[in-house]
Amino acid sequence: MAKVLLVGYIVELLQERERTLQDAGYQVTVALSFAAAATAIQQELFDVAVLGFSIPEDERSKVASAIKQANPATRIIMIYFASIKNTELADALLQTTAGAEGLLRAISHMLGAQSRVHTG
């Protein structure tokens, strides 16, 4: 079972994504802060990390960098609303309009392929 780390600051969105991913068979850990994400990546190795659009752009880079330092093999999906700055560490970009199904497709594709994808 693939392990997914969800990072963001909007509880309702994270809960919806968590349920969707769990229903699809993924093991999900939710982090509501940079500190919680840092703790999680020190305790477990994740296959995929999903960074929500609610994370400020400057902090998004810090979170992504910490994830890659803890485990360079972790694939990162960054969900964006309007701005796609500070995404150089992302393995995939996903616009908020893609919804839960788009996130499932991106994770499935990412775990099955090594190429960088952009889903809009």
Let me know if residue 49 belongs to a domain.
yes
Let me know if residue 37 belongs to a domain.
yes
Burial of 109 (0-12, 13-18, 19+ CB in 10 A): middle
Contact in structure between 50 and 5 (CB atoms under 8 Å): yes
Range of the domain at 51: 3-86+100-112
CATH number of 48's domain = 3.40.50.2300
pLDDT tens profile 8-67: 999 998 999 999 999 999 999 999 999 999 999 999 999 999 999 888 888 888 999 999
Let me know if residue 64 belongs to a domain.
yes
Q: Is the pTM of this model over 0.85?
A: no
Task: Return the closest-CA partner of residue 4 out of 34, 30, 23, 43.
Answer: 30
Look at the chain and report how many structural domains it folds into. 1
pLDDT tens profile 56-105: 888 888 999 999 999 999 999 988 876 666 677 787 777 777 777 888 88
